[in-house]
Structure 1
């Protein structure tokens, strides 16, 4: 609890600590220094980033890898506008990020007087990409705003929250009452709906389990249901790792491929947990599931659109799936399971024959990466050709180990998200999968990784182009333009940031480089090029 003579800015830090916050990502500035006054005597680890965009992506990566809220501090005006892109990504991908920003004085906000960092409506800007926005006017507003944010994180679809603290308020005496509130629990499924869902599944001829990012904590129950029913498992990109990618019933993410669509169309009952089933899951806005759909989600609006559910269960995926598993009657579905496993195996074995030249090349590179990274490695990926291929063909074995910017589709996500993930899961290996263009959006965060000696494995695919955009232009009959660039010397640039750097000339040397990076005392940039396959 804060003493009454402490400032509101000081008391804020103690309150965050009482809610279990152990890491904050941010940059101190003239407008938010009062938020930093108490940090030296706090147990919270503050990570100084190189840009507010990095702070937002690190908080997102921390949240995705741990399941706990990621917290970031920023300043009035440009601090907020710089962090809005990461907040948009976390909003789109249901990631619990808490952004706390300074703002102009209560008495002088948005009056057009030319104040430093002035915006017409800072709160209005934040409202476009957050689920909760609070402007505090009193110390109690700050306490209530923090309580509302953690209450939302604990009990509903996780999305970013924003708390705005005027400069003069940060200096006010805090007063008493700075203790964490008990947070509510996630909603539990209706018992009648559970029985209805179990009956529908038990009577199904060809059931299927579909897992999204909201099922990351429900993998064991989902897998047990699939095994009991002999049902295949599909995931969204955000759902990768909910079930082990090498389980014989798991096809992983194939919603955009003919094989995955065929499985969905053949299923008479689909148990879908924790996914809004969006355009960026199917990469086709007109694809709809219309029969035998059981949906479990924390968001009632998701249950209403765009796919009509036969049973719509508003509940936490983990507890709902546990209940469905318990309600399923005993039955022998061993023949169906054997048939499902064969179907999955046949799909996977047939896929390489359908590869174009690019996918064939990337499949070889990804196979080497997968073989040399431990199963538990957390991988933050970017909007880049190698990650698009990996979304489908790169198996992930554990929950919260595949972090991809799905909905908002933000370039530059992977490097800072990987840094945030490493702070959140220091005992796990963490790798970054990124392209030569995307890394330049946030390459300054190499300094953050090097400063903290994070053994981050940065796998950068360098094709000296915006490769995916170039290929899209060709496919659409557009003469490629504005898609080639002069890249920096990435090896020299990484070393300038005091990082290790390697440029393998063969797949064998790529494997060796990954092995060294896993043991390194600091980050390693591994620059991969198509020429490796000729080595």
Structure 2
């Protein structure tokens, strides 16, 4: 992911600035235009300067929501998201969002004040005192860094952006001792680190190209690490005639309408059979992680080529025959040039192979998500090819929308894959909507997950966001209920009743309505979502999922 519009050179300033202003100036120098956070006693010296540097602020109702919103902003825009909290419990509230961003390789900068420089090491009961919040955050992000002077702040920001925008993007936490925020000092600006997309070793490119050129049944698996490589991936797939299947985070990298697209969802049995039947499989920007495959590790019986910017990840979960450690766009481009026109027979057969496997994958997807197909049909009709869905970790999302909702472009299906947090959908949709105010953006939730972040409806209403929030209500934690039943256990703690979500939305300043599941659900839902895109606030749209026999009301 690249941070857009940074200064190419930032002149050093000799004017003394407070630590709070030095931080904000450094963020502005790195192209930051939007921050998500909640002001508190210890970060007011930062808030005092946001407006004068042209940085917009969104106030969520919980710091976890701020982290998810920054994540959604980053996933959709390709820019670094920024979450600003106060010290102690506030930054810990955001820790789950930081863990999710780390798991899914999303560049989010988490910033918080810390205890004063001379604070007693064993503590003394200071307000918001945490034993070691930097170490706590360091356990869930790429790294956490505590600065020790005002002069260091611009350097620390530049280092964080350099880490997040070069190589594998992962979140960083920056802690600034609160007593530095009001201290004045000369803090020379530090220019953004130039982007340096990693290039592969040419010998290995030739080895990979030879395997792919000789393949008669090539295939490609694509993850979120290729979201910026749409043209390069499309060209190579066309040259090879290689069908392409994507993970959840790779959804839309090859548009759903492309004749070589098998869609998203590598967990389907048909996807496993497809991979096993390829004589050469190319995996691009994907961890090949258990959280993607669900039913076991990748079954690659042929030879495996991997492209990944992370040299550790490229040998994790599956050992490749050829490993290209490089930026996905660079590696795909060089492979395309090396194999161009090398295997006309495979290219000619590719569309037929893709059509056969696509039907098998889609059949698996329809069977898995059959109870949600009308819902997904209504969503697709309202969203068109330009829409964005921010999905929660809910049955309607991963069984219904993940594989059955067409993906037309990268960054249009935001989903918390690895850590699988609940409550992600709504705040991440807020972030995506602020990143792309002219695009139709909606959130998709189950009833259980919505309650983790339902308060964020108030912030979205206050900001006047035209945001449909679809809630598929199955009366509780449906997935966990099913797992308890499968174990032979009596369901316990999973039946949450059915709150008045429509009334709750209205009480938070939103519109709310229910679409009955009987009649033509797809048409009714499509109209409700379409209408919600045109109004001046969020609209909660409730669909009650019919319960299977034996489930509690």
- Within the candidate set 353, 360, 380, 1:340 is matched to 353
Contact residue 225 and residue 250 of structure 2 kept, 8 A: yes
Partner secondary structure for residue 50 of structure 1: coil
Per-residue CA deviation, residues 237-271 of structure 1 (Å, 9 max, x unaligned), is 11111111232221122321110000000011111
1:306 CA drift (Å): 2.0
Query: Which residue number in structure 1 is paired with residue 367 of structure 2?
Result: 355
1:122 CA drift (Å): 1.0
1:476 CA drift (Å): 2.2
In structure 1, what is the Cα distance between the partners aligned to 2:488 and 2:330? 50
Choose 89-98 or 290-299, whichever is displaced more.
290-299
In structure 2, what is the Cα distance between the partners aligned to 1:215 and 1:350? 26
Contact residue 238 and residue 403 of structure 1 kept, 8 A: yes
Give ranges in structure 2 of 5+ residues lacking alignment.
1-11, 548-553
Per-residue CA deviation, residues 198-236 of structure 1 (Å, 9 max, x unaligned), is 111010111001100000011222122112211110111
1:433 CA drift (Å): 0.8
Query: Which residue number in structure 1 is paired with residue 339 of structure 2?
Result: 328
Contact residue 15 and residue 178 of structure 1 kept, 8 A: yes
In structure 1, what is the Cα distance between the partners aligned to 2:223 and 2:448? 29
- Does residue 516 of the first structure (1) align with residue 531 of the second (2)? yes
Contact residue 150 and residue 183 of structure 1 kept, 8 A: no
- Within the candidate set 254, 271, 275, 2:265 is matched to 254
Per-residue CA deviation, residues 464-493 of structure 1 (Å, 9 max, x unaligned), is 121111111222222222111133211111
In structure 1, what is the Cα distance between the partners aligned to 2:338 and 2:207? 10
Query: Which residue number in structure 1 is paired with residue 387 of structure 2?
Result: 377
Cα distance change on mapping 1:109 and 1:457 into 2, 3 Å: farther
Cα distance change on mapping 1:261 and 1:279 into 2, 3 Å: same
Aligned residue-pair number: 530
- Does residue 367 of the first structure (1) align with residue 382 of the second (2)? no
Choose 112-121 or 248-257, whichever is displaced more.
248-257
- Does residue 525 of the first structure (1) align with residue 540 of the second (2)? yes
- Within the candidate set 443, 448, 464, 2:475 is matched to 464
Give ranges in structure 1 of 5+ residues lacking alignment.
none
Give matches, 1:370-519, under 5 Å: 370-389=380-399, 390-505=401-516, 506=519, 507=521, 508-519=523-534
Q: Following superposition, which runs of at least 4 residues in structure 1 exceed 3 angstroms of deviation?
A: 284-291, 348-352
Give matches, 1:261-272, under 5 Å: 261-272=272-283
What TM-score, normalized by structure 2, do the two folds share?
0.92
In structure 2, what is the Cα distance between the partners aligned to 1:110 and 1:487? 48
In structure 2, what is the Cα distance between the partners aligned to 1:367 and 1:206? 33
What TM-score, normalized by structure 1, do the two folds share?
0.95
1:377 CA drift (Å): 0.9
In structure 2, what is the Cα distance between the partners aligned to 1:442 and 1:431? 15
Partner secondary structure for residue 292 of structure 2: helix
Query: Which residue number in structure 1 is paired with residue 65 of structure 2?
Result: 54
In structure 1, what is the Cα distance between the partners aligned to 2:455 and 2:28? 29
Contact residue 261 and residue 358 of structure 2 kept, 8 A: no
Per-residue CA deviation, residues 385-405 of structure 1 (Å, 9 max, x unaligned), is 100112122221111101100
Contact residue 414 and residue 432 of structure 1 kept, 8 A: yes
Cα distance change on mapping 1:348 and 1:212 into 2, 3 Å: closer
Give matches, 1:195-234, under 5 Å: 195-234=206-245
Contact residue 297 and residue 303 of structure 1 kept, 8 A: yes
- Does residue 113 of the first structure (1) align with residue 128 of the second (2)? no
In structure 2, what is the Cα distance between the partners aligned to 1:348 and 1:159? 31
- Does residue 282 of the first structure (1) align with residue 297 of the second (2)? no
In structure 1, what is the Cα distance between the partners aligned to 2:480 and 2:431? 28
Q: RMSD between aligned alpha carbons?
A: 1.8
Partner secondary structure for residue 39 of structure 2: coil
In structure 2, what is the Cα distance between the partners aligned to 1:198 and 1:230? 14
Partner secondary structure for residue 184 of structure 2: coil
- Within the candidate set 317, 321, 330, 1:306 is matched to 317
In structure 1, what is the Cα distance between the partners aligned to 2:413 and 2:338? 31
Partner secondary structure for residue 174 of structure 2: strand
1:12 CA drift (Å): 1.0
Contact residue 132 and residue 161 of structure 1 kept, 8 A: yes
In structure 2, what is the Cα distance between the partners aligned to 1:236 and 1:254? 5
Cα distance change on mapping 1:127 and 1:289 into 2, 3 Å: farther
In structure 1, what is the Cα distance between the partners aligned to 2:33 and 2:120? 32
In structure 2, what is the Cα distance between the partners aligned to 1:121 and 1:284? 39
- Within the candidate set 169, 178, 196, 1:167 is matched to 178
Choose 426-435 or 219-228, whichever is displaced more.
219-228
Partner secondary structure for residue 251 of structure 1: strand
Contact residue 22 and residue 153 of structure 2 kept, 8 A: no
